[in-house]
Amino acid sequence: MNNHEESLNYRIKKNDLLLKGVGASPGIIIGKAFMFYDDAMSMSVVSLATEAEINEEINRFKQALIKSKQQLLKLKRKLEHMKHKEAYYIIDAQILILEDRLLIENIITTIKEKKIDAASAVKDTTRGLSKIFNDLGDAYLKERKTDIDYIGERIVANILGRKHQDLSTIKEKSIIVAHNLSPADTANLDVGVVMGFVTNVGGNTSHTAIMARALEIPSVVGLKKVTQEVNSGDTIIVDGTMGVVIIRPTAENLEEYSEKKQKYEQLGKELFKYKNLPAETPDGFHVKLLANIELIEELSSVLEYGAEGIGLYRTEFIYLNRKELPTEEEHFKIYKKVIKKISPYPVTIRTIDLGGDKFLSHIDLAEEINPVLGLRAIRFCLKEVNIFKTQLRAILRASAFGELKILFPMISGMQEILQIKALLEEAKDELTKENLSFNPDIKIGIMIEIPSAATIADMLAKEVDFFSIGTNDLIQYTLAIDRVNEHVSYLYNPLHPAIIRLLKTIVEAAHSNGIEVAICGEMAGEPLYLPLLLGLGINQLSMNPQCILKIKKIVRSITRSESHGIVKALDQFKTDVEMENFMKQEMKKRFPEEFISIN
């Protein structure tokens, strides 16, 4: 155990105020906690003893029904004049469900027979009904399932007098404390008031962590029990760099962390001298450093941190927090805005990667037991061809305004590439017939993030213009470690010999077929892995814009031949722990300032 950990453990024992989790987004903040309860349906069942209690609960339920209907009618009036009528009809359908006699009777019977409180009876009945609709397997009926869930949540919230918490309505500067935050919740945050967040669950490559980095707010995830320890309004310190949260700090803690915060911010400022310098090793190897973005609000950061373009635009965030699917025109406007702002640098747009831990709020995907292995990303697109074509047409149209490339996620084999290419040709033909301009030679690439694709990378390289390695998923699928599960995050190691071997295979396949290879997983922005990636000959690293300057500083101080030496030296080790220790020691020797806190 190193000194730092020892002192942490001592303090945990002493006053139980310090929790250690996974540092998801760097930086230090000190502020007031805001408790976020994300699930209106999570409450305990209350048993009823007397007839009077049962009648009272039935009454509460009826009142909540009336209130829910009033709310929906109000919402409907608001939507009446909108051009697109979909949302209006959805509300109509929900009112019909709310008035359904059978549903009402079922809930009342449940209260009477099971002798349970109204909220639990609503939960019970609507969940049962929603499961029946889901199991019918019909796409139309599955949508009704979403409506039933939504109605159930609304009635329960009204029974309990709870408002659905919407993070965008927080007015005072605060730090969010939650069991979990979905990417949709985080996409809604106002960084003017939300200083950062901490959660019980999650790992470093979960999309919630990725969003925290995108929003440039410090965050610690995987704290296991932070919601039990904190009360709303408590002062907390969040050290996103070290993955530490201190609850109700002492004056001594506050002084120590105010100093650390200052130092950290000073170091950050000093990095800006690298902004306009090339990302080149002292012996002349240039590695392109690009940015990953999730929201168009991040475009200014891309330029501010001196990125050479956007290497990964995760477009699925366009689909979150909305009721209808985005139209081709909406997609087009967004992509045009992005490319016009970033041009003459290139922009790589990744087609939607929904599923896994990124799900739609209302246009629900089918419930799956293993969503990460399910109908997600390109599989979803090749099934819902119209949704896919809408996006392809929009990207093609925006390609008339600058160097746009298309990247396809979650490719598992050749068949998918052939299908994609045929659809892309169809979209091009349509646009030509409609006299709409686009770049006919637009470059297409695939994410290598499934082990099957890595294994046959030599075959796939002949079909596309570039590879982008998604190490977040590649590691998850190769090592069988759920990237959002804090209990196994200790096993999630990019320096596992199997991962290094796969990376070598992919780079060799790409280069011997004359195409470039990028990394766009979180590994690309982590200084510890840089010598390995340089040594392997990766052409491009795409990362959170905030990481670019630090990575550039290190690129400029380590030669390619030193990196080769490090890659070669790794061959002597057999375990990921040995490899990691070796890398840490090497980096600490060369860059004591950057790696000071590493054991």
Compute the chain's Rg from CA coordinates.
26
Q: Which one of 179, 381, 496, 520 is the catalytic residue?
A: 520
Per-residue contact string for residues 421-450; x = within reach of Mg ion by CB under 5 A: ----------------------------x-
User: Tokens 């290879």 sit at which residue?
Assistant: 517
Give the C-alpha separation, 521 to 543, whole Å.
7
Residue closer to Mg ion by CB (options 124, 473) is: 473
User: Tokens 């099957």 sit at which residue?
Assistant: 452
Q: Which of 473, 522, 580, 586 binds Mg ion (CB under 5 A)?
A: 473
Q: At closest approach, how far in Å is the CB of 187 from ligand PEP? A: 14
Q: Is position 357 an interface residue for Mg ion (rule: CB under 5 A)?
A: no
Determine the interface stretch with Mg ion among 103-111, 157-165, 465-473, 563-571 (rule: CB under 5 A): 465-473
Residue closer to Mg ion by CB (options 470, 535) is: 470
Q: At closest approach, how far in Å is the CB of 430 from ligand PEP? A: 29
Residue closer to ligand PEP by CB (options 348, 563) is: 348
Residue closer to ligand PEP by CB (options 149, 357) is: 357
Q: At closest approach, how far in Å is the CB of 447 from ligand PEP? A: 7
The amino acid present at 530, given as its one-letter code, is: L
Task: Choose the contact partner of 117 out of Mg ion, ligand PEP, none; CB within 5 to 8 A by kind.
Answer: none
Of 384, 547, 28, 430, nearest to 241 (Cα)? Answer: 28
Residue closer to Mg ion by CB (options 268, 371) is: 371
Q: At closest approach, how far in Å is the CB of 358 from ligand PEP? A: 8
User: Which pairs from 100-107 meet CB under 8 Å and 24+ separation?
Assistant: 103/129, 104/65, 107/61
Task: Choose the contact partner of 301 out of ligand PEP, Mg ion, none; CB within 5 to 8 A by kind.
Answer: none
Of 451, 331, 478, 320, nearest to 391 (Cα)? Answer: 331
Residue closer to Mg ion by CB (options 306, 525) is: 525
Contact at 8 Å (CB) between 457 and 506? Answer: yes
Q: At closest approach, how far in Å is the CB of 470 from Mg ion? A: 4
Active site residue 496: no
Give the C-alpha separation, 590 to 599, whole Å.
15
Give the C-alpha separation, 503 to 570, whole Å.
14
Task: Choose the contact partner of 314 out of ligand PEP, Mg ion, none; CB within 5 to 8 A by kind.
Answer: ligand PEP
Of 41, 46, 69, nearest to 56 (Cα)? Answer: 46
Q: Which two tokens stand for residue 478?
A: 């190769």
Binders in 217-256 for Mg ion, by CB under 5 A = none
Give the C-alpha separation, 473 to 448, whole Å.
9
Contact at 8 Å (CB) between 529 and 495? Answer: yes
Residue closer to Mg ion by CB (options 121, 547) is: 547
Task: Choose the contact partner of 531 out of Mg ion, ligand PEP, none; CB within 5 to 8 A by kind.
Answer: none
Q: At closest approach, how far in Å is the CB of 295 from ligand PEP? A: 13
Question: Which residues form the interface with ligand PEP (CB under 6 A)?
Answer: 312, 314, 353, 449, 470-473, 520-521
Helix (H, G, I), strand (E, B) or coil at 529: helix
Give the C-alpha separation, 65 to 162, whole Å.
14
User: Tokens 């010999």 sit at which residue?
Assistant: 497
Q: Is position 494 an interface residue for Mg ion (rule: CB under 5 A)?
A: no
Q: Is position 470 an interface residue for Mg ion (rule: CB under 5 A)?
A: yes
Task: Choose the contact partner of 243 out of ligand PEP, Mg ion, none; CB within 5 to 8 A by kind.
Answer: none
C-alpha angle 480-483-488 in degrees, rounded to nearest 5: 70
Q: At closest approach, how far in Å is the CB of 448 from Mg ion? A: 10
Q: Which two tokens stand for residue 382?
A: 């090749």
Four-CA torsion 589, 590, 594, 598, nearest 10 degrees: -30
Q: At closest approach, how far in Å is the CB of 314 from ligand PEP? A: 5
Residue closer to ligand PEP by CB (options 61, 408) is: 408
Contact at 8 Å (CB) between 542 and 520? Answer: yes
User: Tokens 């400029």 sit at which residue?
Assistant: 556
How many residues of this chain bind Mg ion (CB under 5 A)? 3
The Cα-based distances of 360 to 165, 264, 295, 371 in angstroms read: 18, 37, 16, 13
Residue closer to ligand PEP by CB (options 152, 355) is: 355
Q: At closest approach, how far in Å is the CB of 350 from ligand PEP? A: 8
Dump strand ranges (E) for 193-298. 194-199, 219-221, 235-239, 244-247, 288-293
User: Tokens 């997983």 sit at which residue?
Assistant: 521
> CA end-to-end span of the chain, whole Å?
9
Q: Which one of 207, 331, 496, 547 is the catalytic residue?
A: 207
Give the C-alpha separation, 492 to 477, whole Å.
11
Active site residue 362: no
Task: Choose the contact partner of 520 out of ligand PEP, Mg ion, none; CB within 5 to 8 A by kind.
Answer: ligand PEP
Site residues (CB under 5 A) for Mg ion? Answer: 449, 470, 473
Supply the residues annotated as catalytic: 207, 520
